[in-house]
């Protein structure tokens, strides 16, 4: 707990100075395309170019100040982030849940009989998928299943979270959102699959060497029971940590995937902020990303004690 608090304090302080080192003119971005006279520009620069210490004290007093506006969109940054959180949670949360379930199953089956046919095929396939860049895999799926290629008709949407004009608060609208979710979610599932499969496989291979499994077999337990009741629960511990760390990264969004599929989440918002650069928006997004990872890591450590009594001692 103390380590998490210290890390959070460091992140808040580091977040302030990091984005003030970036090049760019926020005044020029804010006034782009607007008719501003010289006096207005001077007043705006005077308001923003305050002494660094004064800026730092204002920021540290309330990093989540709702009055901080985006220089590009002229809207409160935390209001914009709040609008993008749920689309990202829907996309990344679904992908992580499915990838973890399928990956753990693959890891259990491959790790219990290492070197077997299934192990060789599954490890090779997951590593091949893991090595693919997310944006490239997303574009390939988009070309084949949205535009249509190799004789396959394009029947999935090319982007967005829903069809324009569809009310997403109705059951028909929910189905429309799920239809738009298929390709970006599939892209992330295929990429994340190797994480869970390989960690689970390696952990189970280590557990197979433990003496308590030999003792369980000596008692006459069937191999399937030994694996299910004894080996898998202990082998799951590293995977649990990985799952919670992945959940921490949910709010970060998959920047490239959300950009390729025009998914209106935090990843796409980050890309739009980087194009400016929109310093206030980037600063708020980075702070939120960091807090999410710290909290998820803390939860994983607390749960690890619950799942593994050996850690308590």
pLDDT, tens digit, 9 for 90 and up, residues 255-290: 888 889 988 888 888 888 887 777 788 888 888 888
Residue 185's pLDDT is what? 92
pLDDT, tens digit, 9 for 90 and up, residues 85-105: 889 889 988 998 899 899 999
The answer to whether residues 48 and 6 belong to one domain is yes
Residue 277 belongs to domain with CATH number: 1.10.3720.10
Identify whether 251 is part of a domain.
yes
Answer whether 166's CB lies under 8 Å from 173's CB.
Answer: yes
Identify whether 117 is part of a domain.
yes
- By residue range, what is the domain housing residue 293? 83-312
Answer whether 175's CB lies under 8 Å from 88's CB.
Answer: no
Identify whether 78 is part of a domain.
no
pLDDT, tens digit, 9 for 90 and up, residues 189-210: 998 888 889 888 888 888 877 7
Identify whether 188 is part of a domain.
yes
**Token duo for residue 237:** 């511990």
CA-to-CA distance for 268 and 290, rounded, in angstroms?
Answer: 18
Burial classification of residue 261, based on how many CB atoms lie within 10 Å of its CB (0-12 exposed, 13-18 middle, 19 or more buried): buried
Residue 47's pLDDT is what? 59
Nearest-Å Rg of the Cα atoms of the chain is 24
Answer whether 188's CB lies under 8 Å from 134's CB.
Answer: yes
pLDDT, tens digit, 9 for 90 and up, residues 126-171: 888 888 888 888 889 888 888 877 777 778 888 888 888 888 888 8
Count of domains in the chain?
A: 2
Answer whether 63's CB lies under 8 Å from 287's CB.
Answer: yes
Q: For residue 205, which phi and psi values (nearest 5 degrees)? A: -60, -40
The answer to whether residues 149 and 223 belong to one domain is yes
């Amino acid at each position: 707990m103390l380590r998490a608090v210290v890390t959070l304090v460091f992140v808040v302080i580091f977040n302030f100075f990091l984005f003030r080192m970036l090049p760019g003119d926020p005044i020029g971005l804010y006034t782009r395309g607007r008719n501003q006279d010289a006096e207005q520009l001077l007043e705006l620069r005077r308001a923003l170019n305050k002494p660094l210490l004064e800026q730092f004290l204002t920021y540290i007093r309330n990093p989540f100040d709702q009055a901080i506006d985006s220089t590009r969109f002229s809207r409160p940054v935390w209001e914009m982030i709040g609008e993008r959180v749920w689309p990202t949670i829907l996309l990344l949360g679904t992908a992580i849940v499915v990838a973890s379930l399928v990956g753990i199953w693959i890891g259990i089956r491959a790790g219990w009989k290492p070197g077997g046919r299934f192990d060789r095929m599954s490890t090779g396939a997951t590593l091949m998928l893991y090595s693919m860049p997310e944006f490239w895999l997303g574009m390939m799926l988009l070309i084949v299943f949205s535009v249509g290629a190799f004789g396959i008709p394009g029947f999935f949407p090319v982007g967005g979270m829903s069809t324009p004009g569809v009310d997403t608060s109705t059951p028909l609208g929910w189905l429309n959102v799920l239809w738009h979710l298929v390709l970006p979610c599939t892209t992330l599932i295929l990429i994340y699959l190797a994480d869970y499969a390989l960690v689970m496989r390696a952990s189970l291979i280590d557990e197979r060497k433990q003496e308590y499994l030999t003792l369980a077999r000596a008692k006459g337990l069937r191999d399937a029971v030994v694996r299910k009741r004894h080996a898998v629960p202990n082998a799951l511990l590293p995977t649990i940590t990985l799952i919670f760390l992945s959940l921490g990264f949910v709010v970060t969004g998959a920047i490239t995937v959300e950009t390729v599929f025009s998914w209106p989440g935090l990843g796409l918002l980050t890309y739009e902020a980087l194009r400016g650069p929109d310093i206030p928006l980037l600063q708020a997004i980075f702070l939120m990303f960091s807090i999410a990872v710290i909290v998820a890591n803390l939860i994983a450590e607390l749960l690890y004690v619950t799942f593994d009594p050996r850690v308590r001692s």
